[in-house]
């Protein structure tokens, strides 16, 4: 809940601590701004406060061209390329690279494959393919531990294109075959 008096003080003082926490809509101009907007503050009687930019737009205000509310702290633009990486990670977790390649994933994100790889190396420390491979192996390990599904179904459910690839990757990561891992769940380690 926004405290009107507190928001008004922050708006008039252009208090940076409140940037991104609320937006002020000026009724006479139908423009909404961040609390740090450099323009001369409007009269308090003409101002309404909103918790989000979307709320201000829903009330009929348009964004200010000076303070650019879309760049307020915690907005996707403020987070920059990390937003792209987070979205890519979410898509990979949902199996985007199980059915397509990195170029297709990059196209869905609106960037090039090389740029996506650079972002991943910088922010994650691994390539998108490495992240997808790790996610597949972890899904497979959970299925081996929690179900009695046949190996072919575990491989398919985890996102591997073939049983051969599943066995090879699993043995490379765990230094054991999937069957050995499954047998170990019934024995104390």
> Using one digit for the tens of pLDDT, what is the confidence trace for 54-75?
889 999 999 998 888 877 766 6
Both structure tokens of 156: 């398919």
Query: Residues in the chain with pLDDT < 50?
Result: 189
3-state secondary structure of 48: strand
Residues 110-131: pLDDT tens digits? 899 999 999 898 888 889 999 9
Query: For all residues of the chain together, what is the average pLDDT?
Result: 88
Contacts of 45 (CB under 8 A, 6+ apart): none
CA 27 – CA 48 distance, rounded (Å): 7
User: For the whole prediction, is pTM greater than 0.85?
Assistant: no
- Tokens 């208090």, residue located: 15
């Amino acid at each position: 809940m926004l405290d009107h008096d507190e928001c008004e003080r922050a708006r008039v003082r252009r208090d940076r601590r409140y940037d991104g926490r609320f937006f002020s809509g000026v009724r006479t101009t139908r423009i909404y701004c961040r609390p740090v907007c450099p323009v001369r503050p409007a009269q308090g009687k003409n101002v309404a406060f909103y918790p989000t930019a979307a709320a201000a737009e829903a009330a009929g205000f348009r964004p200010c061209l000076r303070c650019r509310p879309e760049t307020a702290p915690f907005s996707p633009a403020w987070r920059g390329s990390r937003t792209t990486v987070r979205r890519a990670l979410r898509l990979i977790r949902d199996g985007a690279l199980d059915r397509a390649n990195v170029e297709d994933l990059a196209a869905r994100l609106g960037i090039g494959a090389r740029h996506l790889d650079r972002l991943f190396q910088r922010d994650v420390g691994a390539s998108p393919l490495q992240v997808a491979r790790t996610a597949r192996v972890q899904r497979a390990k959970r299925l081996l531990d929690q179900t009695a599904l046949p190996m072919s179904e575990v491989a398919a459910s985890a996102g591997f294109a073939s049983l051969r690839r599943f066995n090879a990757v699993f043995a490379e990561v765990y230094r054991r075959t999937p069957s050995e891992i499954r047998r170990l769940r019934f024995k104390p380690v």
